[in-house]
């Protein structure tokens, strides 16, 4: 997504204890759901302490109707569980020098995970959606001892890692950014395969929050700005970037597993 050119004065708007005042803690830090539910859940998390002075607001939007729903405002080391219906959903995030979007297609009784990663910017920092694919954990296990050919490398978007010492031993290393998997290949076989992404069990340790009345008021106040950014950026993002981060139905974790 594009970077916003903002002044120091405008940037100071993002530097506050804002997220804390716009949300309240969820009792027992637990997501309550039924495994037989017709709903899907999307957990937006920000477990890192990086950018602790910044907050980022997430909304769901419909690119055809401009209908929006407030998801919440995250601060460092917080997460939000958003309940929704099965189907395709679009989300927009604002909170610093840039904005970002993500497309998530859900199925019932399934939980999906998205990190909102903070990075340092020129003035106010930047936020990016980083999807977590549950099936990548199983894929990493399944790749062990599999054929290491161009079909596999292309299917999982592996890129070669330069390692001269390993190459001398006939070992080729690859990394898939999309699936967070590292593999080592020798004589046409995957000899090592490791999932390098976030451990799902660790997510439950991040404080769970939900938006409050102040949060909804904040969302309504800034909604015209969000809609303007979406109008300006959606077509280009959908054409050039949406496929890279999109979450699909089988990327989620079935409830109860």
Which H/E stretch holds residue 210? strand 208-211
* pLDDT tens for each residue of 196-236: 887 766 677 889 999 999 999 999 999 999 999 999 999 99
Structure tokens at 256: 């109860």
Domain coordinates in residue numbering, the chain: 8-133+199-254, 135-195
* pLDDT tens for each residue of 37-94: 899 999 999 887 776 678 899 999 999 999 999 999 999 899 999 999 999 999 999 9
pLDDT, the chain, mean: 87
Buried b (16+ CB within 10 A) or exposed e, 18-43: bbeebbeebeeeebebeeeeeebbbb
Which H/E stretch holds residue 208? strand 208-211
The pLDDT of residue 50 is 72
Q: What is the pTM of this model?
A: 0.83
SS (H, E, C) 95-163: CCCEEEEEEEEECCCEEEEEEEEEECCCCCCEEEEEEECCHHHHHHHHHCCCECCHHHHHHCCCEEECC
Share of the chain above pLDDT 90, in %: 64
Distance CA 173, CA 253 (A): 28
40-46/110-119 β-pairing: parallel
DSSP structure class, residue 4 = P
The pLDDT of residue 51 is 64
Which H/E stretch holds residue 192? strand 189-195
Distance CA 64, CA 85 (A): 18
- CB 126 within 8 Å of CB 64: no
């Amino acid at each position: 997504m594009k970077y916003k050119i903002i002044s120091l004065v405008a940037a100071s708007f993002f530097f506050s204890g804002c997220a804390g005042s716009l949300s309240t803690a969820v009792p027992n830090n637990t997501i309550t759901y039924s495994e037989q539910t017709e709903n899907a859940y999307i957990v937006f998390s920000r477990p890192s302490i990086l950018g602790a002075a910044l907050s980022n607001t997430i909304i769901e939007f419909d690119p055809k109707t401009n209908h929006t729903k407030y998801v919440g405002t995250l601060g460092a080391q917080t997460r939000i569980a958003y309940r929704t219906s099965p189907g395709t959903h679009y989300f927009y995030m604002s909170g610093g020098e840039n904005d970002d979007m993500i497309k998530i297609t859900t199925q019932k009784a399934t939980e999906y995970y998205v990190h909102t990663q903070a990075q340092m910017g020129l003035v106010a920092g930047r936020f990016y959606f980083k999807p977590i694919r549950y099936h990548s954990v199983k894929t990493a296990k399944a790749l062990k001892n599999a054929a290491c050919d161009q079909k596999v490398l292309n299917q999982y978007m592996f890129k070669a890692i330069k390692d001269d010492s390993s190459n001398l031993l006939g070992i080729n290393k690859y990394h898939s950014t999309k699936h967070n998997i590292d593999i080592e290949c020798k004589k046409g076989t995957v000899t090592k395969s490791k999932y390098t992404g976030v451990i799902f069990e660790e997510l439950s340790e991040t404080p769970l929050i939900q938006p409050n009345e102040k949060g909804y008021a904040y969302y309504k106040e800034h909604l015209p700005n969000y809609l303007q950014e979406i109008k300006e950026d959606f077509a280009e993002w959908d054409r050039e970037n949406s496929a890279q981060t999109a979450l699909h139905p089988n990327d989620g974790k079935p409830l109860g597993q």
